[in-house]
């Protein structure tokens, strides 16, 4: 059983690595190979919920259309857990890109990704990305609530 779980973790990691390479290469078709048809995604780009591969593809197509040049994408703190049919991963992504107007954008993006084994292929069934939101001091929040 342990070797099957290890193999699943390796396969999931390889899928993530292929996806990151596709993002850096701006290869939308290669990126979309990672996703299940019934994907549900919660992303930093509106709307808050995206259902299905076609909706997710539109999100990423919009990102590529509104940026130019290289996309920096580095991961850290990756953890992968896997079973026979389901796996999950959480990680931090440092993403950098340049908008069409020349403005440089950098973000630390938190991600949780849920995979489903579909005939030996680990496909993303759910992806959730978020950006830490700066908050005022705790006292300021309490004052605003009163």
Sorting pLDDT into bands at 50, 70 and 90, what band is 90?
very high
* 23 φ, ψ (degrees, to nearest 5): -60, -50
- Domains of the chain, residue spans: 2-145
**CA atoms of 41 and 31, how far apart (whole Å):** 14
- Return the CATH number of the domain spanning residue range 2-145: 3.10.450.50
**CA atoms of 37 and 121, how far apart (whole Å):** 13
Q: pTM for the full model?
A: 0.87
Sorting pLDDT into bands at 50, 70 and 90, what band is 122?
very high
Task: Between 1 and 96, name the one with better pLDDT.
Answer: 96
- Residue 38 and residue 52 in contact, taking contact as beta carbons nearer than 8 Å: yes
Query: How do residues 27-56 score in pLDDT, each as one tens digit?
Result: 999 999 999 999 999 998 888 899 999 999
Q: Is the pLDDT reported for residue 138 higher than 80? A: no
Q: Is the pLDDT reported for residue 129 higher than 80? A: yes
Q: Is the pLDDT reported for residue 145 higher than 50? A: no
Helices and strands (H and E) in the chain: how many: 4, 6
Three-state SS at 102: coil
């Amino acid at each position: 059983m342990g070797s099957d779980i290890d193999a699943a973790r390796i396969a999931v990691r390889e899928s993530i690595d292929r996806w990151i390479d596709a993002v850096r290469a701006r290869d939308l078709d290669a990126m979309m190979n990672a996703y299940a048809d019934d994907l549900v995604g919660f992303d930093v780009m509106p709307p808050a919920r995206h259902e299905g591969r076609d909706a997710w593809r539109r999100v990423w197509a919009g990102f590529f259309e509104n940026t130019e040049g290289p996309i920096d994408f580095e991961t850290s703190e990756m953890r992968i857990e896997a079973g026979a049919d389901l796996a999950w991963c959480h990680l931090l992504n440092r993403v950098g890109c340049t908008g069409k107007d020349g403005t440089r954008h950098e973000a630390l993006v938190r991600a949780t990704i849920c995979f489903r084994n579909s005939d030996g292929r680990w496909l993303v069934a759910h992806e959730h990305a978020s950006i830490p939101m700066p908050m005022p001091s705790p006292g300021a929040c309490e004052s605003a609530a009163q």
